[in-house]
Homo-oligomer: A and B are copies of this chain.
Amino acid sequence: MDTVLPGNAERIDDILKKIERTKQARRHKFYLRDEKITLSHGSGGKSTHNLIEGVIAPAFSNPMLDPMDDAATFTVSGTDQRLAFTTDTYVVSPLFFPGGDIGKLAVHGTINDLSMAGAEPFYLSVGFILEEGFPIADLRKIVASMAKAAAGAGVSIVTGDTKVVQRGKADGLFINTAGVGIVRATWPLGQTRLQPGDRVLLSGPIGDHGIAIMLAREALEIETDVQSDTAPLNSLVASLLEAAGDAVHCMKDPTRGGVATSLNEMALGSEVSIGLDEHAIPVHGEVRGACEILGLDPLTIANEGKLLAIVAPHKAEQALAAMRSHPVGREAAIIGTVQTEPAGMVFLRTDIGGMRVLDMLVGDPLPRIC
């Protein structure tokens, strides 16, 4: 924690040196030294980026993949329709948790990735990996939950595949969902599109999903009512785009790696700085309490029904009003501003008046969160 209290021992030139060191470190950030996969490669944070940028992205490099947005977009040849295409695999443990299950998560997650590209989701595929011995009654529950989630969000599951592996070669059930949607945003949108002066909007309290999973998983003696926030964001995004149009520069759902990782990806992608006000960031009291007990930062914890939107200042209030008038955005807030320097970094103005560099998630305190 690089907390800098005003009047504290750390002087301005120490802070500047620290910033310079961080920037230098980031230039080398995608050198992958590991020889074996570790759990932190699945965190969604820094190790995941190292793996993807060091191994996967260079091999597949192409103009549609390289922006590394939540979905790829392309124009259908012979038409002026743009489509979005995305995929996500779900390995959450446990399969059933307060507020949801792996099936609901898999449907909402892919709907949300399409929504983040400014697309209206239409069609999903589903790929199951089942472990020998998995109870068919549980599969029925998960499939019913997927069907309900899809119907609730107005999408159809149109194609699928089922594989089975021997006992001990999987963990009950894994689900992949891919999705296709029609892009409604006619302007460029994505993590390379942030402009200095833009406002950072967040659709509601953070950390619910991660903490709900953690408490469901560990037999912790913490009694709470925390539920996963899993929700489809397509209708919230439609309201936001209607209210703010091309003033919306980027949308991201802060899943693995949390708000901290999503904003760092944007700051790197657009070569800008992002300053956040800690006091403006909504966190449910029970989540904050659980984080304190467990030594976790709510800003790095996964959310499955929250939206970060980067909006030009002249439309920020309209965008906020649109989000607040939507059922899944009632607690939306403006939590920060995009700045010019130091490029590629995110800062948090803390409640106690200090300032700290907010890095991507490092390590993986909560493996298999989604």
Residues of A that sit less than 8 Å from B by CB: 32, 34-42, 48, 51-52, 55-56, 59-60, 62, 64-65, 71-72, 74, 76-79, 81, 83, 85-91, 122-123, 125-137, 139-140, 143-144, 146-147, 150, 156-166, 168-171, 174, 176, 178, 180, 182, 367-368
Contact = CB atoms under 8 A, between A and B. Distances in A.
B125 A87 contact: yes
A70 B88 CA distance: 20
A91 B133 CA distance: 17
A251 to B, nearest CB: 16
A266 to B, nearest CB: 18
A325 B44 CA distance: 48
Contact of A136 (B32, B88, B125): B32
Nearest to A62: B156
Given A65-B156, A72-B123, A60 B147 contact: yes
Nearest to A71: B159
Copies in the complex: 2
Nearest to A161: B88
Contact of A89 (B81, B161, B169): B161
Contacts of A51: 136, 162
Contacts of A159: 64-65, 71-72, 85-87
Contacts of A176: 87, 89, 127, 161, 176, 178
Most B-side CB within 10 Å, residue of A40, A74, A126, A163 = A163
A89 B127 contact: yes
A277 to B, nearest CB: 32
B89 A39 contact: no
B129 A62 contact: no
A156 to B, nearest CB: 5
Contacts of A169: 170-171
A281 B150 CA distance: 44
Nearest to A73: B158
B62 A157 contact: yes
A74 B71 CA distance: 20
B143 A55 contact: yes
A78 B184 CA distance: 13
A36 B135 contact: yes
Contact of A81 (B77, B137, B139, B162): B77
Nearest to A64: B158
Contact of A132 (B38, B87, B125, B147): B38
A36 B64 CA distance: 42
A74 B163 CA distance: 25
A143 B58 CA distance: 10
Contacts of A35: 135-137
B164 A367 contact: yes
Given A48-B162, A79-B79, A162-B51, A125 B86 contact: yes
A328 to B, nearest CB: 23
A174 B129 contact: yes
B83 A76 contact: yes
Contacts of A76: 76, 79, 81, 83, 182
Given A126-B87, A157-B65, A166 B367 contact: yes
